[in-house]
Amino acid sequence: MAGRLEGKVALISGGATAHKGNVLGIGGAAAWAFAREGAKVVLGDLDDVRGEEAAAQIRESGAEAAFVHLNATLEPNWEKAVAFTLKTFGKLNVVVNCAGTTAIGGVEQTTEKAWDSQLDVHAKGVFLGTKHAIPAMRKSGGGSVVNISSIDGIIGNAHAVAYSTGKGASRIFTKAAAIQYAKENIRVNSVHPGYTDTPLARSAIAELEKDGIPDPRIPRVPLGRLAKAEEIANGILFLASDESSYVTGAELVIDGGMTAQ
Ligand SMILES: NC(=O)c1ccc[n+]([C@@H]2O[C@H](COP(=O)([O-])OP(=O)(O)OC[C@H]3O[C@@H](n4cnc5c(N)ncnc54)[C@H](O)[C@@H]3O)[C@@H](O)[C@H]2O)c1
């Protein structure tokens, strides 16, 4: 039976957290799901060592994968990553804008530097990834852009104000881009994960735990647990595939009921 992404080529920013046996990041889990469903996958990340190793692991599983160095906040890096994808696999059908970092802090606790870096990665990075994917997708007759926002892009997070603002920006950018490119069959959607157990989230929680603050996340979640990255990847896979052919400008919340309260 053909895979759900058979014949498609995908570029995933922040995709280096894909080591089998370790806790997966959301981009890493998406990479494995895409490879399993027949896509050729390019992982783009700042972390060259983990990115190359992850791509090699995916190839060992029998799928096609490659790594390209990508700082998602830099326009020339996106130009190179898209060119690399076209040179390696001949086309581009799917981009997942997943690269991210966190910054804890309310309004007065947030430095200008932290603000700029959060807006850079979560707003500008998503804009640049979309901008440079569009011409290649146009040549393929269409495509799917999946922007990984957050529940913090829908409801305010007073403890991570710059992060929340960046995620809100990527949510509304998604809708503006979806309208602009709908006639060209290029769909643009956002995914809003709730609390997900990933390397990035573990490092943020370690900061809290260092200060003796217990993990505040689980009591807030109606399903009573964190998500696995694979559960977020299932939603990304749907939006990347032709199963979502009538879905654009939408926001897919995957949060264990968190924002239903
Ligand atoms: N984990 C959660 O609870 C959660 C919840 C909602 C949204 N998200 C979002 O999902 C995305 C993935 O998060 P995760 O927790 O799976 O992270 P993760 O553990 O996969 O780590 C993020 C990855 O992004 C890479 N990266 C960081 N800055 C980059 C840049 N400028 N250019 C390229 N790569 C860069 C890192 O090297 C790392 O590999 C992020 O955008 C995050 O904000 C995460």
What is the per-residue pLDDT across 201-240, written as a single tens digit (0 to 9) for each? 998 788 777 777 777 888 999 999 999 999 999 999 999 9
Helix (H, G, I), strand (E, B) or coil at 50: helix
**Nearest CA-CA partner of 251 in 180, 178, 198:** 178
Q: What is the pLDDT of residue 98?
A: 98
Phi, psi (degrees; rounded to nearest 5) at 174: -55, -45
Degrees to nearest 5, angle at CA 28 with 215 and 205: 15
Report the C-alpha gap between 218 and 180 in whole angstroms: 39
CA of 98 to the centre of ligand 1 (A): 6
**Nearest CA-CA partner of 206 in 54, 106, 197, 231:** 197
Q: What is the pLDDT of residue 209?
A: 77
Q: Each residue of 84-116: b (16+ CB within 10 Å) or e?
A: bbbeebebbbbbbbbbbbbbbbeeeebeeebbe
Ligand 1 residue neighbourhood (C-beta within 6 Å): 13-14, 16-17, 25-28, 45-47, 70-73, 98-101, 121, 125, 148, 150, 193, 195-196, 198-201, 229
Q: What is the pLDDT of residue 90?
A: 98
CA of 16 to the centre of ligand 1 (A): 9
| Residues with a known catalytic role | 163
Report the C-alpha gap between 1 and 14 in whole angstroms: 30
- What's the gap between Cα 160 and its chain centre? 19
Q: What is the pLDDT of residue 2?
A: 87
Report the C-alpha gap between 259 and 256 in whole angstroms: 8
Domains of the chain: 9-194+228-253 (3.40.50.720)
Give the number of the atom of ligand 1 that is nearest the alpha carbon of residue 122: 41
CA of 245 to the centre of ligand 1 (A): 26
Give the number of the atom of ligand 1 that is nearest the alpha carbon of residue 51: 39
Q: What is the pLDDT of residue 228?
A: 97
Give the number of the atom of ligand 1 that is nearest the alpha carbon of residue 97: 41
DSSP annotation string for 238-260:
HHHSGGGTT--S-EEEESTTGGG
pLDDT beneath 70, residues of the chain: none
Whether 146 and 96 have beta carbons less than 8 Å apart is answered as yes
Whether 119 and 166 have beta carbons less than 8 Å apart is answered as yes
Helix (H, G, I), strand (E, B) or coil at 28: helix
